[in-house]
Structure 1
Amino acid sequence: MPTLLCFGDSNTYGMLPISDRDLPRERAARRWPVVLGEKLKWDIVEEGLPGRTFAFPCPTMGPHMDGRVGLFIALESHGPIDAITIMLGTNDQKTHFDASPEDIVAGASFYLDVCLSEEMQARHGGFEPILIAPPHPVERGPLAEEFRGADAKAKAVSKALKELADARDVTFFDAASVIETDQVDGIHMNEASHIALGNALHAFILSEISPE
């Protein structure tokens, strides 16, 4: 049975929208990696960490939010895998990072370097990286101040991620083409969006990847 590693942040972990920063944070039962795995009939490895970025240590959540070391850990502790989805870039748009779309995509490029390296490809017997541009963050609710300016930046980030994937001949999917972030907090996906994304990725992966 093929194996898919899903590497991302809270929208891969399945955190539901929050109306109050102090309330317990729930996890969706029907999160998109679960839906996708059921429909594909593949083994799924969930590697979602709330707060994870492409390349920024977080001054409030900790240096481990920089996902670069986590990528090596995930690739070396699981497998062999047939494909990996990488859906990051939302937290990189937090106000305190002051990152341009070019800064964010420079971080994403490192992930493709690692995944396409001879060492990692040999370790897993070959696998396909799938770069996913996340649904666009919106300044709304209790997280509005933390993501001030993300509204104006999000489309440019998605466009730059697609250009990177095209330049590296890597499979690309734009989550914003099928879902939006929830209106409660503008960052996280509700359960209906998780299901919709899982269904859309199922059709997309079947059309793009045929593991042996």
Structure 2
Amino acid sequence: MSDAERVVLCFGDSNTHGTMPLPSLTERGRHGFSSRWTGHFRRALGPAVHVIDEGHPGRTTVHPDPVEGEHRNGLSVLLALLESHRPLDLVVMMLGTNDCKARFAVTADDIARSIDRLCGVIAAAQCGPGGATPKLLLVAPPPLTETGCLAGMFEGGAAKAAALAPRIEAVAQARGAGFVDAGAHITVSPIDGVHFDAAAHATLGTVLARAAAELLD
């Protein structure tokens, strides 16, 4: 691999997957490749950067989901993904929203500690160029709102989500990682209070590309 080539893994949940705001729980809409934040991110970084989309709807940080399945646990798949796609120059991680579901009964501090645990996996994986540690960009998801078809699922979650950004920023500082507070740039859709509309994807992709470019340079 030449010095001009960079590989970025985007590890996240349904908003990295590109799930559209849900009018009902039976919907399965997904933004197109070019419309997702990862698509805007890819275009902004240019052809010398290979971007890998790894977003899974319902993905948590470290929790097997007792309702939607154990496979939603981000910790259980992260190492395999790192090894599969290495060498990686940068990992962009945006998780924490699904941990706010009532079924997990965790605090904002717990979520930040769980994100730190995932950072530890990345640091120990030797998945960067030459077995080094890749750069890391932590993204605090925008605060959710308890509305629409997801309101019951996320009951009590809005307060946790609103408290996440400074805690994730503290993890980033301790780990020497980059940090972006997505909530400073976009808001969730009023349709379901969790997912992003097309305009939010465009804005976030551009913002994260600027942050990623600084880390890659």
1: distance between equivalents of 2:89 and 2:216? 9
2: distance between equivalents of 1:144 and 1:56? 20
In structure 1, runs of 5+ residues without a counterpart are none
Aligned residue type for 1:36: F
1: distance between equivalents of 2:131 and 2:144? 33
Confirm whether residue 46 of structure 1 aligns to residue 69 of structure 2: no
Tell me which residue corresponds to 2:86. 79
1: distance between equivalents of 2:26 and 2:130? 42
Deviations 1:29-84 (A, max 9, x none): 11011110111012111110000000111011111111012111110111311101
Confirm whether residue 22 of structure 1 aligns to residue 26 of structure 2: yes
1: distance between equivalents of 2:125 and 2:52? 22
Q: Is the 8 A contact 2:178 2:211 kept in 1?
A: no
1: distance between equivalents of 2:174 and 2:118? 14
Task: Report the TM-score when normalising by structure 1.
Answer: 0.94
Instruction: Give the % identical residues.
Output: 35
Tell me which residue corresponds to 1:31. 36
Q: Is the 8 A contact 2:144 2:162 kept in 1?
A: no
Question: Matches of residues 118-133 of structure 1 in structure 2 within 5 Å?
Answer: 119-121=126-128, 124-133=131-140
1: distance between equivalents of 2:56 and 2:95? 10
Q: Please identify runs of 4+ aligned residues in structure 1 that moved more than 6 A.
A: none
Name the SS of the counterpart of 2:26 in structure 1.
coil
2: distance between equivalents of 1:11 and 1:158? 17
2: distance between equivalents of 1:169 and 1:101? 21
Confirm whether residue 143 of structure 1 aligns to residue 143 of structure 2: no
Aligned residues between the structures: 209
Question: Matches of residues 125-204 of structure 1 in structure 2 within 5 Å?
Answer: 125-204=132-211
Confirm whether residue 65 of structure 1 aligns to residue 65 of structure 2: no
Tell me which residue corresponds to 2:102. 95
In structure 2, runs of 5+ residues without a counterpart are none
Report the CA distance shift for 1:153/1:70 in structure 2 as closer, same or farther (over 3 A): same
RMSD of the TM alignment (CA)?
Answer: 1.4
Report the CA distance shift for 1:150/1:118 in structure 2 as closer, same or farther (over 3 A): closer
